[in-house]
Amino acid sequence: MDKPRFRLRCSITKLIFFWIAILLTILIFFHRTPSSNPNRRVLPSLPAWENVVVQSAKPLANSTTGQSVLVTGAAGFVGTHVALALKKRGDGVVGIDNFNKYYDPTLKRRRADLLRRNGIFVLEADINDSEKLAKLFRSVKFTHVVHLAAQAGVRYALRNPASYVHSNIAGFVNLLEACKTANPQPSIIWASSSSVYGLNSKVPFSETHRTDQPASLYAATKKAGEEIAHAYNHIYGLSITGLRFFTVYGPWGRPDMMYYSFTRDMLRGKPIVVFEGPGHKSVARDFTYVDDVVKGLLAAVDTAEKSTGSGGKVERPAQLRVFNLGNTSPVPVNEVVGLLERLLGVKAKKVVVPMPRNGDVLFTHANVSLARRELGYVPTTDLKTGLRKFVDWYLDYYSESNWKSAW
């Protein structure tokens, strides 16, 4: 009588074993699959963009520096050139940009395409998004942050003043918060502007001249940035270098800037508006070619000392620097128009009007002896040479064949 019951119990036991074995196999299988991905093993809950970020941030095998650099505003004009130059020498580079519509976002997308083809990932995010930044800084230990994201332009502040506060003040503070919390803290190199000299009339502009008379909201937010940098350096031991750029121009440039819009309008046969000062005084700018600025910026990265804070303590005072990066030779606007006329083979239809008092200053002129001494900065491109490179790029970029092949 006992035998069948035993047999029954035996097959139930077998059945249970069988199912447990299958369940275990399934469990082991699912457990193994994700961890075969090396990135996942280290950081199990990373969303897809974070994996891409980690890859992009890795210094190349031939890197002499072993650095990982975050470039904010990487889809911007200067940001694109800087990111490419860093990558070319082997640094790991990650970009961040919100691709805002201040000017043609297609141009920003195409710059980011160029970066992607060179192994640089640009995260689409706002620098005022603290959660995104926290995630980004958790995924990568950046050695340097090159901060170029900003609301640029002087006259746009009349229409959208809030955008300057959002990016240049709130966004900058948010970025510095992420930097001071990071362990180890990165060194920061960021773009201030020649506009901080405002109504200063001593020439050439020197770092020691007064910068408390801004002529535009843009200038005021850049000046505020320099003061905010001072505070974060003082309190948290962040190593910070501010670079005052002087009218940077070149290929992949900014459509809202004078040399770019003049080129566009002259090629379309449209009139261009040329501002002049009181008493028919010519407006002049110290135009600086983008490759010269990039060289100065990379030298600032290479001479930046490490930040000195960690876990809320500051070991010793950290480095705080400000440099002019200009060309030291202001060019009157009329001469710029003349150069463009010759390069484009088009006669400009000039409409000369008095410069309105809405933010622009009459002239800029950099004294770069401090940058020469500390960074070895020597600008070598004159306006004629630089504008030729810009025009070559412009004609190629807007040629129909280029757009056909791109889409």
Taking the least distance from each CB to ligand NAD, the nearer of 77 and 236 is 77
Taking the least distance from each CB to ligand NAD, the nearer of 108 and 321 is 108
Nearest to 93 by CA among 71, 62, 63, 123: 71
Does residue 170 touch ligand NAG according to CB under 6 A?
A: yes
Does the annotation mark 197 as catalytic?
no
What number of chain residues touch ligand NAG (CB under 6 A)?
15
Question: Can you point out the beta strands (E) in 153-203?
Answer: 187-193
Does residue 88 touch ligand NAG according to CB under 6 A?
A: yes
Alpha carbon 25 to its chain centroid, in Å, reads 49
Q: Rounded to whole angstroms, how far apart are CA atoms 293 and 291? A: 5
Q: Rounded to whole angstroms, how far apart are CA atoms 397 and 390? A: 10
Please state whether beta strands 284-285 and 121-124 pair in parallel, antiparallel, or not at all (unpaired): unpaired
Residues whose CB is less than 8 angstroms from the CB of residue 78 and which lie 6 or more positions away in sequence, other chains included: 148, 191, 245, 248, 290, 293, 294
Does residue 206 touch ligand NAG according to CB under 6 A?
A: yes
Which part of the chain contacts ligand NAG (CB under 6 A), choosing from 84-92, 185-193, 288-296, 352-360?
A: 84-92
Residue from 40, 51, 58, 89 binding ligand NAG (CB under 6 A): 89
Q: Which of ligand NAG, ligand NAD, none does residue 97 bind (CB under 5 to 8 Å by kind)?
A: ligand NAD
Backbone φ and ψ for 319, nearest 5 degrees, come out as -65, 140
Residue from 147, 166, 222, 321 binding ligand NAG (CB under 6 A): 166
User: Active site residue: 102, 103, 156, 218, which one?
Assistant: 218
Residue from 161, 370, 389, 393 binding ligand NAG (CB under 6 A): 370
Does residue 393 touch ligand NAD according to CB under 6 A?
A: no
Nearest to 80 by CA among 324, 377, 226, 293: 293
The residue behind tokens 């303590």 is: 313
User: Per-residue x/- mask for ligand NAD, residues 120 to 159, rule CB under 6 A?
Assistant: ------xxx-------------------xxxxx-------
* Residue 172 CB, nearest approach to ligand NAG (Å): 11
Cβ distance 301 to 146 under 8 Å? yes
Does residue 117 touch ligand NAG according to CB under 6 A?
A: no
* Residue 178 CB, nearest approach to ligand NAD (Å): 13
- Apex CA 29: angle with CA 24 and CA 34, to 5°? 140
The CB-nearest residue to ligand NAD is 76
Nearest to 366 by CA among 252, 279, 255, 243: 243
Taking the least distance from each CB to ligand NAG, the nearer of 329 and 369 is 369
Does residue 204 touch ligand NAG according to CB under 6 A?
A: yes
- How many helices (H) and strands (E) the chain has is answered by 15, 15
Does residue 165 touch ligand NAG according to CB under 6 A?
A: yes
Residues whose CB is less than 8 angstroms from the CB of residue 72 and which lie 6 or more positions away in sequence, other chains included: 79, 95, 96, 97, 127, 145, 146, 147, 148, 149, 175
Q: Which of residues 74-103 bind ligand NAD (CB under 6 A)?
A: 75-79, 96-100
Single-letter code of the amino acid located at 336? V
The one-character DSSP state at 101 is T
Q: Rounded to whole angstroms, how far apart are CA atoms 144 and 189? A: 8
73's torsion region: left (phi>0), alpha (psi -120 to 50) or beta? left
User: Per-residue x/- mask for ligand NAD, residues 158 to 177, rule CB under 6 A?
Assistant: ---------x---x------
* Residue 373 CB, nearest approach to ligand NAG (Å): 8
Binding site for ligand NAG (CB under 6 A): 60, 62, 88-90, 128, 130, 165-166, 170, 204, 206, 367, 369-370
Binding site for ligand NAD (CB under 6 A): 73, 75-79, 96-100, 108, 126-128, 148-152, 167, 171, 191, 193, 245, 247-248, 254
Residues catalogued as catalytic = 218
